[in-house]
Chain A
Amino acid sequence: MNVVVILGWLELALGVGALSWMVWHARNGRSPAQQRGFRPLMAVIAVISVLFVITLVI
């Protein structure tokens, strides 16, 4: 597998996982943004997205 495919799968997993995680917390009356893992998760999404853009454009 090349880098684009790996990053694409990572992007998909992160997107689905993050969305499910946020909805689960919100439905249980907790603010997702106040959870401990929120900022690291957003940081990982940002980094993977930037890497994905770079590999797609190059």
Chain B
Amino acid sequence: MLRAVRSTWLAVAMAITMAFVATTPAQAGGLAQADSLSAEQRQVRDAFVDSYQSTSVGQSFDVTNADGRELTFVKTTEGVRVSKDTADSSTTQTMAADFCLAAAQAAVYAIGAAVFAGVAASGGTIAVAGVVIGPSVAGMFSAALAGGGGLSALIAQYIC
């Protein structure tokens, strides 16, 4: 599956490259070959060309085909390079993007703070790893987790 998708993208990329290269009459054969693409491939090629022309060097742009598969390109002084391929987003082979740990910590701490606050407010107890925690300790845990969550969120602003 992955190989087939990559082959399709490779064919499209080769055709696009040939279309770019064929700028002189002597190389018109390249354009003719590019025009032998299927309707979907031509659509992808046109989307690529439009995005490429409207993007400045250093900026990225996405090209998506009819199946929702997406490639992210970065325009460079030499041409383009592929920075991300989500061709397998519909399968288990999904490519996960950079995940900021501080941001995830902020969210998890916020959940924990709310849960412990709920325990403290209800006056009940909660057992964590076999240790029974009463309402007063749960309140302290809640405050600590909320503080940690706030701090992680602030850190995420700067490092993510």
Contact = CB atoms under 8 A, between A and B. Distances in A.
Interface of A: 4-5, 8-9, 11-12, 14-16, 18-19, 22, 25-33, 38-39, 42-43, 45-50, 52-53, 56-57
Contacts, number: 139
B149 A45 contact: yes
Interface stretch (B4-12, B13-21, B138-146): B138-146
Contacts of B100: 22, 31-33
Please classify how large the interface on chain B is, using the bins under 10, 10 to 19, 20 to 34, 35 or more.
35 or more
Interface in B110-141: 110-115, 117-118, 121, 139
The binding surface of chain A is classed by DSSP as helix
20 contacts: A4-B117, A4-B121, A16-B107, A16-B111, A18-B106, A25-B97, A27-B96, A32-B160, A33-B98, A39-B157, A42-B103, A42-B154, A43-B153, A46-B106, A47-B150, A48-B110, A49-B110, A49-B113, A52-B117, A53-B146
